[in-house]
Amino acid sequence: MSREKIDGQLFSYTGPAFHYINEEERHFFAKEPAQFKVSLIGCGMIGMEHMRVATRVGRSAIHGVFDLNERSIKVAKEEFAKITDEDFKVYESLEAACNDPEVDGILICTPNYTHLDVLKVAIKSGKHIFMEKPMATKLEDAYEITKMAKEYGSVLQIGLQYRYKSIYSEAIHEVLERKAVGDVKMINIMEHRIPFLDKVNQWNKFSKYSGGTLVEKCCHYFDLMNLFAQSRPVRVYANGSQSTNFRDFEFKGEKSDILDSAFVTVEYENGVRAGFNLCMFAPMFHEELLVCGDEGRVKAAEIEDFSENARLRTEMEVFCGQNRPSKTSQPSYPKLIEASGHNGATWFEHVAFADQMAGKESDSATVEEGFWSVVVGCAAEESVKTGKIVDVADLLKAKGIDL
């Protein structure tokens, strides 16, 4: 098989196993020149994932990094050396990272509560911008970002990557493109997983920094619910608690206050109803989607646990009764992509960002979609606090947001 017949982006990765070959001697594993250079703002866990994936995809090269934490920079330098022979550049300031004339794009991977302030600096550069989810921790900030985006002439992509996971990508195709279930009526999503992991200064253990669990973590799933519903949310009801995780956790004199379990119900303008089930003290990673329409049902699941028993990692079922053929499958990407981060979703997120920088259309999350994922998350957090159904229009009005 010739090299030209193989996906160049996948097989251009020259990992440590091939460092013994000089660049001029490569053919099958020759590295294609990157189309773009990007700066990385924030070198924590997700920043490192983006650094690795961008380098392996190969269309965007990490030209330099900026972070206020010295240890994060040290670790980033070590990780960078494992995946590329390029020079590791550290910017002295946020302004320098955003305004480097050699850079085409900016990756914002800082803690949630810093996004707006970082964006205000980055957007002055006029460069293409990728910003991690959630776009903001407060509705007012999310709305300000949407207004900034409307006036921005370059790319501003939001990191709601779960739509690129294999199970969800296939489900989106079946439901929204193939119309396998007919008109969507009900949506259910479940996530059962281990607790939040450690972050620098443990910012994800405190709602005032993260936006709360239903904003920080669950905006991914609310984005998917909004996408499948093809409508805007009008009412949200949620109940939840901090029943198990971090109940006695304190950091620098502050006590953790994040939810670790919740049920969320969302009603949409078009009559679609959706439910979300969260448990963050389960000994596994288990996601499940159910979309029911008037002509069929799609079920998709992804499971990773810590047992020795063999089990299917992914599965999807399209059941259409008498309407059309039904089928089952095991959606997945090649091993290299699956292992690169978030089960391959980050890989295609970077493909989408490069496509947009190249002037191509993309199905990545827009700023408007990022805004509505935050709206549902904030409404759910408010409902948990008050014990009442939250009317989305009333919530937006109370925040001074006029759509």
10-residue averages of pLDDT along the chain (403 residues): 40 56 72 91 97 94 97 95 90 98 98 98 98 98 97 97 97 98 98 96 97 98 98 98 97 97 98 98 96 98 87 94 95 92 95 97 96 98 98 97 90
Query: What pLDDT score was predicted for residue 26?
Result: 72
Query: 134 phi and psi, to 5 degrees?
Result: -65, 150
Q: Are 298 and 171 in contact (CB under 8 A)?
A: yes
In the prediction, which pLDDT does 32 show?
77
Please, are residues 337 and 166 in contact by the beta-carbon 8 Å criterion?
no
- Shortest CA distance to 187 belongs to which of 173, 170, 166, 172? 172
pLDDT, residue 24, reads 76
pLDDT given for residue 2 in this prediction: 37
pLDDT of residue 6: 40
User: Phi and psi for 399 in degrees, rounded to 5?
Assistant: -90, 5
C-alpha to C-alpha distance for 378 and 390, rounded to whole angstroms: 10
Residue with tokens 């910012």: 203
Q: How far apart are CA 210 and CA 200, in angstroms?
A: 13
Q: CA-to-CA distance for 118 and 229, rounded, in angstroms?
A: 32
Q: Which residue stretches of 45-123 are H helix? A: 45-57, 70-83, 94-99, 115-122
In this structure, the strands spanning 273-279 and 284-293 are unpaired
Tokens of 242: 């901090």
pLDDT of residue 263: 98
Pair of tokens at residue 182: 């007919």
Given this model, what pLDDT does residue 149 score? 97
